[in-house]
Structures are given as structure tokens and as C-alpha cells.
Copies of this chain bind each other. A is one copy, B any other.
Amino acid sequence: MKPQVLVVEDEDALATLLQYNLEKEGYQVSVAGDGEDALMQAEETTPDLVLVDWMLPKVSGIEVCRRLRGRQETANVPIIMLTARGEETDRVRGLDTGADDYVVKPFSMTELFARIRAVLRRIRPGLAEDVITAGDITMDRVAHRVKRSDREIHLGPTEFRLLDYLMQHPGRVFSREQLLDAVWGSDVYVEARTVDVHVGRLRKALNTKEERDPIRTVRSAGYAFDVNA
């Protein structure tokens, strides 16, 4: 599963450059032009990493940090700050901005990539494990294996990604469109009903007769993964 990166940058040229290079590096990228937009998108896409420019219109970068940290869903998302040289660099380090690292402009892409990898590596193992467990279902993303109470579950690539995404946000309802964006990719066009089919396949693979279906259908809204209660 590609790590999702949210870029918060008002300067168009830089934003585009970042998006282009990050995607080439294998990240799923979304861009926000200002702080408000950033907070909204962060809620929607729940990124694995946020890249925030220190200077932003409306809501400053540092404020974006604080707000992200303040919210349940995004409290643990790693943040990297982009600052211009001399832009209170010391205070960035000194103050508890909530950022996990910062990069001073101008920076090279390789440098940025190195920081990103370092942060993801540092933050992720502690918070988001390679292994997710919900009820009796275990998903090991490194080994690419899914088990339900010691029974090995075989899933196709798409079903795997779908389950991955759902398990990562348990309880939350996603519309078919949201799932298409997140699991298929925001640029492919597929029929919304296709999601139904894949959910069906996923259910068939996951459940035996006795077992409770962990995927909940919400009529005219979408699907959600429920942790056993």
C-alpha cells in the first residue's frame, strides 16, 4: 500500500513540483493550498504523512500542526515542516510545534525523500504497526497475509487493499466514491457499483457460515468495517 502524503503549500509551482516528484517516488499525493483546505483534506484522506509549509495564507503552518495534533484522527500523523532559511529556524526546533522534522528551503528532492523515509520509519513502527488486528482478523502488510482465527485468507490485490483501508479506519463509513479514490486511485474511472462486487468478494473470502460479517452496509451511504463488539 502506497503511503499517502498530504502536501500543504500555497505556492503553486512548488506544490506541483513536490506532487510530481513524490508520486514518482511512489507516494499517493494530495495537495492543499491553504490551512483550511489542509485540515479538511486531512480528515477525508487521513494521510500517513503531512508536509506543511511554515508560511501559509489564512491559517499558518504552525497552526495547522496544532490543529492536526488536536484532533483524534490525525493526532499521530507525522508532520514535516518546510521553512525558508532564517525563518525562525531555531524556534522551529525549540518550540514544540508538534512537527516531527523540518526541512530548510531550498532543499533537494533526495534530501526531502531521505527525511520522509526517516520520519515514516521512526514514527510508523511505533504507532501504525505492520500488523493490524481487529477482532479475530489479522492483516500483515509486510508479509502480505490475512488471517481469520488461524485460517489463512487468500485475497486478490484489490481486495487486499480494500480491506487494508477499511481496517485502518474501523467504524467509519465510506462512500463508494471515497473508496474508489482511496483504494483504486483518484485518477482511474471505474463504475461505483464495482465497489459492491469487491466488497462481496471480500466478504465471501472472509466469512464462513458461523462467523459474523465484519463489513457493514449502510444503505445509500456506503460501507464500514466494524470491530467486533
Contacts and interface: CB of A to CB of B under 8 A. Distances in A.
Contacts of A117: 16, 20
How many copies of the polypeptide does the oligomer hold? 2
Interface in A14-71: 15-16, 20
A39 B218 CA distance: 36
Contacts of A111: 12-13
Nearest to A113: B13
Given A121-B20, A156-B219, A219-B157, A173 B13 contact: no
Interface of A: 12-13, 15-16, 20, 110-111, 113-114, 117-118, 121, 140, 142-145, 156-157, 171-173, 218-221, 224
B144 A218 contact: yes
A221 B143 CA distance: 10
B110 A12 contact: yes
B157 A221 contact: yes
Given A219-B157, A221-B157, A142 B173 contact: yes
